[in-house]
Amino acid sequence: MMQAEKGIEELRTRVDSLVIIPNERLKFATDQKITFANAFEIADDVLRQAVQSISDLIKNTGFINLDFADVTAVMQNAGMAHMGVGRAGGKNKAEDAAKMAISSPLLETSINGAKGVLVNVTGSMDIGLEEVEIAANLVQQAAHPDALIIFGAAFDDTLEDEIRVTVIATGFEEVEGAMPNKPFSAAAEKKAEAQPQAPAPPAAPAEEDPFEDIFKIFNRGK
């Protein structure tokens, strides 16, 4: 354990962003029995997914594109990082996918208090505007009030009824990374009690650009 901690401290000085995946949390990555023999294979696959989630954001064409400059803006010289990918289907798919991405059970971090956030929402061509807004709002509420939040959206018809939410978060100077002891929903309720909520803005008229509201969520962070 001490050797691992020394390695982490050494890595901090040599990388822009650092994501830590504790070995004891590998059991959350798969339903199969984890043995000494396959533990390393599972750990490698988890890291592959993390790297692929970043490369997909850059190389895949989206409706609202993200590029390498966006990734650099969030991850360069950023220290500890949270990286989560949530995928869900059904009636509450947007909420479920966003919560999975925000508080990954595989990591010891959540995006609570993050000052830099990259979020990408992917779904089929018939993804609902309300579903995109739900996912975007959950991410925005969990991040720091003054966070730089960069939003992207892409279409992938292979997802059919599912939504995938990818979140990369950094800037945890005051929140040194421990995952909340309570589930995300409970943490969100506690935050809501501590801070009075502003009244909800009136719905935009039907003739206005339907994506304007989504951009308004993140305008203050740019």
pLDDT on residue 162: 94
122 forms beta bridges with 154, 164
Query: Does position 89 have pLDDT exceeding 90, yes or no?
Result: yes
Coil/strand/helix, residue 132: helix
CA distance 211 to 112: 25
The tens digit of pLDDT for each residue in 195-205 reads 455 555 555 55
Residue 30: predicted pLDDT: 67
The string of pLDDT tens digits covering residues 71-86 is 888 888 888 888 888 8
Torsion angle of the four alpha carbons 222, 150, 117, 69, in this order, in degrees rounded to the nearest 10 = -90
pLDDT value of position 42: 75
Q: Can you say whether residue 160 is alpha, beta or left, with left for phi > 0 and alpha for psi between -120 and 50 degrees?
A: left
Q: pLDDT (tens digit, 9 = 90+) per residue, 25-68?
A: 776 666 777 787 787 787 787 778 777 777 877 887 778 888 88
How high is the pLDDT of residue 95? 95
pLDDT score at 88: 93
Is 60 exceeded by the pLDDT of residue 214? Answer: no
Decide if 53 contacts 122 (C-beta within 8 A).
Answer: no
- CB distance 168 to 82 below 8 Å: yes
pLDDT digits (tens, 9 = 90+) for 118-152: 998 999 998 888 999 999 999 999 899 999 999 88
pLDDT on residue 212: 59
Between 158 and 32, the higher pLDDT residue: 158
Please determine, for residue 174, whether its predicted confidence score (pLDDT) is greater than 70: no
Which CATH number applies to 2-184+202-219?
Answer: 3.30.1330.20
Report the mean per-residue pLDDT for the chain. Answer: 76
Q: Hey, which residues does 155 pair with through a beta bridge?
A: 123
Q: What is the pLDDT of residue 187?
A: 36
